[in-house]
Structure formats: C-alpha cells, structure tokens
Amino acid sequence: MNILGLAFGFHDASAALLRDGAIICAAAEERFTRRKHDAALPARAIAFCLAEGGLTPSDLDAVVLHEHASVKFDRVVHAALRQDPPAAAYVERTVAAWIAQGKFDPAGRVAAMLRIPADRIHAVEHHAAHAASAFFASPFHQATVVTMDGVGEYEAITVSAGREGRLEKLDAVEVPHSLGLFYSAFTAFLGFEVNEGEYKVMGMAAFGQPRFANRIRPLLRLDSDGRLMVDERYFEFLTPEDTPFTPALVDLLGPPRVPESDVIHGHYADVAASVQLVVEEAIFHVVEHAVRRTGIDDVCLAGGVALNSLANGKLQSRLRGRLYVQPAAGDGGASLGAALYHAHVVCGVPRLPETGATALLGKAYDAIDVEDALRRGSVPRVHRFGSEDDLLTAVAQHLADGAIVGLCRGRFEWGPRALGARSILANPALPDMQRIVNEKIKFREPFRPFAPAVLDHRANEYFDTPAPYGLHSPEYFMLSVATVKASHRHDIPAVTHVDGTARVQLVNRATNPAFHRLLELFEAITGVPILLNTSFNLRGEPVVASPWDALWTFGWSGLDVLVIGDVLVDKSELR
C-alpha cells in the first residue's frame, strides 16, 4: 500500500511516502525550491517521493493531507466574528488570501496536479497528524502522546494514548491557549522572526537570568487538570494584525527589542530566560499530567514546541519513562504524520519496529549531479580519493588543522537538524571557532551556539546525557540539550554554550556510518571524538540539498573545504 502524506498551505510544506507502513522517503519542499519555509503545494517534494518510490501518481493508494482546511477556516472566521467589534476587515483579507492561494480546496488542487480520483485524497486533523508522526515513528508499543504547536484547526495542545496501531485522543486545548503562539509572541517581542527565530530565543536565554519569570508566569495559567490558559489581554493570537502581543505586554516588560540590534545581554536576555523558564514549566505541567492520565510512562512529543531542545533535555530527566521526539516535529513533519495515521489507524497496516530510527530520509544525489555542479560552478581543481576512508581521512585532517568544512553526502535529513549529511563541521577545540562560523560562514548573530556531534559510546565522557535507550533517543536527532561536564568545557569551547550546555548529537555507527567514521578519524588526530556540527546553509536560506546548492553556499561563505559526494574542493585552490 502506497500512501503519500502532504503538508502545505501555511509554512514548511513537505511530502512523505510510505509503502506498507515503511517510510520510503520524506522531504521539505524548501530544500528543492530554495525558498525558506516554502508553503506552496510541494510539487517538487512530491516528484522526489514518487521517483524515490519508483511510482507514478496512479500507483498511490491514498494521498493524505495534514489538516481539514474548511475547519481551519471556520476557526478563523469564528474567532474574528467573536471580536468586539467583529474583525470584519481581517476576515475579508483572509478570504481574499485564501482564494488567491487556493486554500479552500487543497484536495482539489492535489487531485488536479496528480490526476488521480478525488476519492483517493483524504485528510486528518492537524494534531492527529502530529501525534501520529511521533507515536508511529517511535519504538514504543504504547505511549503518552502530547502535541503542542501554534494552532491546527482549533487545537493547540492534544493529549492522546497511543497503543500499537491506535491513537486515542483524551484531551485538547484550543487556541488562543497555545504554548506555541505564546513562545512565538515573545520571539516577536525579542525582535526575531516568528516561525524562524524561536531557536534564537532559546540561545539568547542562556545569556540572561529569569528575573521576569514572576511577571510572565501569570500570563500562562496552569490549571489543575493539566490544561493551561493564556491571558488574552497580553496577546493577540486570533486576529493578529501587526504583532502577536498587545500594548499590555509592553507595559509589563518595556519596549520590544529592535530587530537586528546588538543587544543580547541584560534586559532582553532576561526576558528570553524568563519566557523559556515559564514555557518549560508549562511543558512539564502538560506532559506530567498527561502521563498521569494515561498511566503510560513513555512519552512521544510532536508539534513545533517539541523542537525546544532545552525543555526536552530537562523533561527527560523528570520522566520515569523514555522520550521520543519526532525529528521534524514542526508542521513540516505533519505530512509524515498524515501518512502514518492513514496507514495504521485508518487502514490497519501493522507497525514496523525500525520506523523512525533514522532521519536520513531525503534525496541522495549521484556522481553525475556532482560533476554537473562542478562544471556549472567552473571549479578548476578537485581532489578525488581511492576510497571513502581516504576521503574521510583527508577531511579529518583539514578539520584538525582548523578548516571549516561543508559536507554534502548521501540522503539529506528530515527535519531542521543537520545530522552529518548536510552539515558544516569544524574543530570544537578551537576557542574562536564559534565566532568564526557565526560571522564568516553563516553570517548570523555571534551569540548563536553550535551543537557537538559525538561518537555515541564516548558521549558520557563529555556530557551529562541520559543513557540512550536506543537509536530513537532524542540525542541521536539533536533534539535534547545536555550539560557539558565541567572537566571538559575547556576542551570543546566552540560547542559549549555560555551556560555550560550543548545540544548534543550522538552518532551511531549503524545508522550514520560515514559520519561515525569521520569522528573516529578526527579523534585519532586530535584526541577529541567530537565535531562542531551545524546546518549547511547561510542565514535565511534553507539547508542545502543538491551538490549545486552546496557548491553555491560554499562559494558564498567563508567555508574552507567542501565535500560533495566523493569529491573534495579546497577553497584556496578556487581561482
């Protein structure tokens, strides 16, 4: 049974293909179109999935959309008309935008594009897609499944019990009481772009003290039943015209931070630390109540809030059970969830134990693509090697010598994290490396931290990470923050954040063999089994997909070395 899941229409469009319950591939549209957060009908991601599966559209048994568009529109209208006075102009603009963007009939658009009968196209509730993306990709036979994002149709939080091929929704919290929108409102307040700058708030939080927590905490009331309520006097989530916060928040915390301003310490960092603390408390509150309600200790998380790796790391230490977080926990992952939901819940396809053990689900490019890119980029000299080990040895030596390397090999990653397939790598032992990579490679704020990728069996020497329960552990997907052991902080300064933490990625020989080997070779030279690992992209651009994307980003950044496929390019020879 071939099932194509699709998510599109708001941000982060994507497609995912299942065959008999196995994930064949999954990819975000932005990787192909090079438009960050591309929301369009993911034609190129669909084409990739069909090609990867060796299918034509007529081979698809079902195409499943990640939300019910009509219900979502119902929410928009109802929310606007409940305003006093009713926000008629907002509705008018929304209707015009929906018509212009074809949002009223996404199923019809898909049917027309794929030329398949309309009755093969289905839809699931948005949060059901999120929940399915987490539970059915997890290794758990049963789990407490919690979804938290901005908003789906109406829901912003759901709690479900997952048991084998079933998902039973037990509770839901509807917008405006949304943790995702709450965090995003502060993202905007702190001068960052919503749906893009949430990671920056997390990074900024480490520079501050949560001295405003007592002011912010009352804005998010935690109820005894595990629910929460946002104080609407401070936020405008239902019909936002300009900012998602009201003047009341400015009265409470002072003027918002001016975007691109250099201020990251002091007041605004304290606000970031405070909102991070308050949101962590809310996450713990929701999840712990959910666990009590289901009686199941293992937890699955999805929805954009589940990408808060700082909270995930702390949550792990509070849970009795195990935690699984879907690598593409945001809306981009809902296509996979839609397909998984249809396969297991609707069609009863049996679950497969290996599902979700890797995030390398994207497209791989072949040697012809590499040669085309080199020719197109007029690259005068490249290095080729007799074996992969020779190539990785050369890369390890460059890294040890202080070079910053762009790596583009194999299938690209599913989700926002680069896990060694589309990564920028550097020597974490060099104190200045964080600043150099931020300023000269990624052209972004100097305070942004970088993650360490570490041989999984060596992680405990450097980090206070919980022992991974298996290849689904959040640390394999860079989804959890841990403390760097004090004794080793000076050894890896470039990946130790100002508060002594790091968003660790464990690297396993079986699931990521080439990257694992590179780490071994790097350790053999330097004694450090760790590399600085960040996504291979420039500020504001999607992570690279193809060899040409990689060469382009290499050329337009301060990267020293590029590896595309089995070819190495040295910037100093690029003339």
Partner 1 sequence: MRVLVVTPPETAAGLDRRMAWIRRRFGDAGIVVAASADAAADAAIVVLIRGDDGVCAPPPAGFDGRLYVQEQDGRLALQNRPFDGDEVASIDAHVFSRMAPADTAGYYHFPYGYLARYPGMGPIDSFGFRASVDWAPLRARQDSHKLVVVSGGSAVWSQCCLADEAFPAVLEGMLNDWATAERAGVTFSVVNLGLFGNLVLHQSINYMLFAERLRPDYVIAHDGFNDLIFALMSDPWLLAEHSIAYQPEFEGWARLLHKAPGDALTHQELPYGVLNLPHVAVRAYGERKAQFRRLVEGTGARFIWGLQPCIFSKGALSPEEQSVVGERHAVYGHAHRKIEFVFEEYLVRGVVPTDVPFVNCHSAFKAFGADQHLFADHVHMTPQGDRHIASLYFDVIRRGAATHA
Does 575 engage in binding with partner 1 (CB under 8 A)? yes
- Asked if 283 contacts 148 with a C-beta cutoff of 8 angstroms, the reply is yes
Cα-atom radius of gyration of the chain, to the nearest Å? 23
Amino acid at 70: S
CB of 550 to partner 1, least distance (A): 12
Site residues for partner 1, window 522-561 (CB under 8 A)? 551-552, 555-556
The length of the chain in residues reads: 575
CB of 566 to partner 1, least distance (A): 21
What is the spatial distance between Cα 406 and Cα 314, in angstroms, rounded to a whole number? 31
Q: Which candidate, 436, 402, 303, 415, places its Cα nearest to that of 359?
A: 415
The residue (of 261 and 378) whose beta carbon lies closer to partner 1 is 378
The residue (of 396 and 550) whose beta carbon lies closer to partner 1 is 550
Please tell me what DSSP assigns to residue 258: P
The residue (of 340 and 562) whose beta carbon lies closer to partner 1 is 562
Task: Identify the bridge partners of residue 501 per DSSP, sorted by sequence position.
Answer: 483
- Asked if 184 contacts 245 with a C-beta cutoff of 8 angstroms, the reply is no
Count of positions on this chain that bind partner 1 (CB under 8 A): 9
CB of 408 to partner 1, least distance (A): 15
- Asked if 122 contacts 110 with a C-beta cutoff of 8 angstroms, the reply is no
- Asked if 546 contacts 369 with a C-beta cutoff of 8 angstroms, the reply is yes
Does 564 engage in binding with partner 1 (CB under 8 A)? no
Task: Identify the bridge partners of residue 284 per DSSP, sorted by sequence position.
Answer: none
Does 35 engage in binding with partner 1 (CB under 8 A)? no
Angle (CA) 477 480 485, round 5°: 115
Does 574 engage in binding with partner 1 (CB under 8 A)? yes
Question: Which residue matches tokens 């996979």?
Answer: 336
Residue ranges of alpha helices (H) inside 425-546 are 433-436, 459-462, 513-526
CB of 378 to partner 1, least distance (A): 4
Q: Which residues are catalytic?
A: 11
How many of the other CB atoms lie within 10 Å of CB of 21?
Answer: 20
CB of 555 to partner 1, least distance (A): 4
At 534, list the tokens: 């960040």
CB of 575 to partner 1, least distance (A): 6
At 300, list the tokens: 């699955």
CB of 36 to partner 1, least distance (A): 15
The residue (of 395 and 562) whose beta carbon lies closer to partner 1 is 562
The residue (of 90 and 552) whose beta carbon lies closer to partner 1 is 552
Q: Which candidate, 297, 315, 304, places its Cα nearest to that of 126?
A: 304
Please tell me what DSSP assigns to residue 344: I
What is the spatial distance between Cα 157 and Cα 174, in angstroms, rounded to a whole number? 7
Instruction: Show Cβ contacts of residue 408 under 8 Å, excluding neighbours closer than 6 positions.
Output: 365, 421, 422, 536, 544, 546, 547, 549, 550, 562, 563, 564, 565
Site residues for partner 1, window 361-380 (CB under 8 A)? 376-378
CB of 519 to partner 1, least distance (A): 30
Does 403 engage in binding with partner 1 (CB under 8 A)? no
Name the site residues for partner 1 (rule: CB under 8 A).
376-378, 551-552, 555-556, 574-575
